[in-house]
Chain A
Amino acid sequence: MRSESSVKSLAVPGIFADVQAFWAVVSREWVIFIRYPSWIIALFIWPVIFPMGYILTARALSGVDGSGLTTFQNTTGLNEYVGYIAVGTMIWMWQNIVLWAVGYSLRNEQLRGTLESNWLSPTWRFSYLLGSSIPQLVSMLMLMLVSGLEYAFLFRVHFSGSLWLTLLVILAAIPSVYGIGFAFASLVITLKEANAFVFLVRGIVMIFCGITYPLAILPAWMQSVAQWLPQTYIIHGVRTAALSTAGFSAIAFDLKMLVLFGIFWLAVGYFLFNMMERRARQTGAIGQY
């Protein structure tokens, strides 16, 4: 029989208890995730249907005789649009899903009425947010794998670039994407109108980061805005790494920017979380929705 002193419960705060709490959040989120089997449908269908809308519109714009496509090629210097749109929309989907899943994780607890009681437990509160992002990251890596395969086999996209360089860009992008998710989740606890903020953030990415067109088409002021968004570098980096043979030197700048943005957004996410969490407790807004 174990002695009473060896029992490590959550009531004895410490690193071990924090890790236990973190793992409990990860397990709970994973159970909730697989509880609704429709995620399997989403995993296979979204990568196909989301870019399809834009690809088919581009097909219609090309015209029956391809005259529109010739104009497109003259304007952008691109030979084909399918792979270009597929990669751009996939990155957008990633950020969008993170905003909904990670950004909503605390808000969902607020709506279910469990946030306040969880908050009273003697755990590191950031672990609720961090823990909910781990199953999400796993599901997103699965989504990217499925997307790549579907683009190659269904859309006949020719990935002539390097798999390792593509993975490197994705790895460098993770801190930025999830840092934005953390910052977003923190804002939502207090401001509550989560939908509006998801729409705003994903809308900015959609308009400014060139998911379906080269940035050169945008007016100069919009191009300036795009330079301040990490997704611009993710999209450019993944397109270059996966669709061209330009090599590491062509993505070096994107990687550098993503590392800088990653540090910035993780710091902003953590800072905002602490600030908003404190504010919500002071105003008593934790349990409200």
Chain B
Amino acid sequence: MQLQSLSQPNLSSHLRALYALIRKDWKQYWRYPLNAVSSIFQPLIWIAPIYFMGQAFSVNGKALGFSQYSGTTDFMSFILLGTVLESFINAVFWGMGYALKNDMDSGVMESNWLTPIPRLLILVGHSVTNLLVTAITSLGMLILGGMVFGFHASGEIWQALLPILPMMLGLYGFGFAFAAVVMLIREANTLVDVSSFLVQIFSGSNFPVNALPRFLLPVALALPLTYGLDSVRAHLIGTKTILPLPWEMFLLIVFMVVMLWIGTTAFKSLERRVRTLGTLGQH
């Protein structure tokens, strides 16, 4: 029988490397169970101030002002859904850029880079555990959030999954480019925090984007994630959409193709630059 080791790279060895990466991250994540539990509660804690603030704007639990922008008075279902989707978006942001920073800090980045594994595969491997964990915690969050704040979805869940697919794949492209920037400047926290927070605001995770001041609205409309969140909400809780749904789907597919191309190109170029500078092992 012929042994396929990592020193003879092929599809099978790549898959094994991917599995090893996922298993390592999975083991590391669940090694700290309190952190895992807190990731369910954390997003709920973030939206708790909005819940109480929303009560002050509501009459008998119905946010009539909010419905003028969104088409629903159930602002908590709107926000809870946005929070869940935002968790997945952040998993890709954090999963790749931040994991690289962790590798740098713990001193394994350079040695990992020397292995005969495609470097993009290392990034993908880091994000898979994050996505799996996010799926589990999001389910917990929806159940718990539904019990505490109320969550009412009446739409078709399978149709809602359709816009999620191109949105997430497009985000991978963005994540590749972002990870390369983290490698170059060797700092992730501020970049990750600020950029994910800005994306969260402008893609309308907590409010309908048409409530933005007019001069900020173009920023929201330029973000493909805005259409992703908008489509999913329209399918699940029947909110008003910015554009007709087929148009939003078309934009998401274009985003996916363009971002994957830009992301991989930028990553390859910046990664080469980092290797030329010899700063791969620094942090």
A 24-43 contacts with B by CB, 8 A: 36, 38-39, 41-42
Rounded to whole angstroms, the CA-CA distance of A64 and B207 in the bound complex is: 13
Residues of B within 8 A of A61 (CB): 53-54, 57-58, 63, 65-66, 75, 207
Q: Which of B64, B190, B207 contacts A39 (CB 8 A)?
A: B190
A 42-70 contacts with B by CB, 8 A: 42, 45-46, 49-50, 52-54, 56-69
Residues of A within 8 A of B38 (CB): 195-196, 199-200
Rounded to whole angstroms, the CA-CA distance of A176 and B75 in the bound complex is: 36
Judged by a CB distance under 8 angstroms, whether B50 is at the interface is yes
Residues of A within 8 A of B52 (CB): 212-213, 217-218
Q: Which of A39, A42, A63 contacts B68 (CB 8 A)?
A: A63
Q: Are A50 and B197 in contact (CB under 8 A)?
A: yes
The main secondary structure of chain B at its interface with chain A is helix
Judged by a CB distance under 8 angstroms, whether A111 is at the interface is yes
Residues of B within 8 A of A64 (CB): 65, 68-69
B 59-89 contacts with A by CB, 8 A: 59, 63-70, 75, 79
Rounded to whole angstroms, the CA-CA distance of A39 and B63 in the bound complex is: 38
B 8-63 contacts with A by CB, 8 A: 32-35, 37-38, 41-42, 45-46, 48-50, 52-59, 63
Judged by a CB distance under 8 angstroms, whether B135 is at the interface is no
Rounded to whole angstroms, the CA-CA distance of A49 and B201 in the bound complex is: 8
Rounded to whole angstroms, the CA-CA distance of A62 and B58 in the bound complex is: 9
Residues of B within 8 A of A76 (CB): 56
Residue of A nearest to B58 (CB): A71
Q: In the complex, how many residues of chain B place their beta carbon closer than 8 angstroms to a beta carbon of chain A?
A: 50
The main secondary structure of chain A at its interface with chain B is helix
Rounded to whole angstroms, the CA-CA distance of A2 and B93 in the bound complex is: 57
Judged by a CB distance under 8 angstroms, whether B168 is at the interface is no
Q: Are B66 and A68 in contact (CB under 8 A)?
A: yes
How many chain A residues sit at the interface, stated as a range, is 35 or more
Distance in Å: Cβ of A78 to nearest Cβ of chain B: 9
Distance in Å: Cβ of B132 to nearest Cβ of chain A: 18
Q: Are A71 and B201 in contact (CB under 8 A)?
A: no
Q: Are B49 and A212 in contact (CB under 8 A)?
A: yes
Q: Are A69 and B65 in contact (CB under 8 A)?
A: yes
Judged by a CB distance under 8 angstroms, whether A211 is at the interface is yes
Residue of A nearest to B37 (CB): A196
Residue of B nearest to A75 (CB): B56
Residues of A within 8 A of B211 (CB): 56, 59-60
Q: Are A38 and B65 in contact (CB under 8 A)?
A: no
Residue of A nearest to B194 (CB): A45
Judged by a CB distance under 8 angstroms, whether B212 is at the interface is yes
State the B residues within 8 Å of A (CB).
32-35, 37-38, 41-42, 45-46, 48-50, 52-59, 63-70, 75, 79, 105-106, 185-187, 189-191, 193-194, 197-198, 200-201, 206-208, 211-212
**23 A-B contact pairs sorted by A residue (CB < 8 Å):** A39-B190, A42-B190, A50-B197, A56-B201, A57-B53, A57-B54, A60-B70, A60-B211, A61-B53, A61-B54, A61-B58, A62-B65, A63-B67, A64-B65, A69-B57, A71-B64, A75-B56, A76-B56, A195-B35, A196-B37, A213-B49, A217-B52, A217-B55
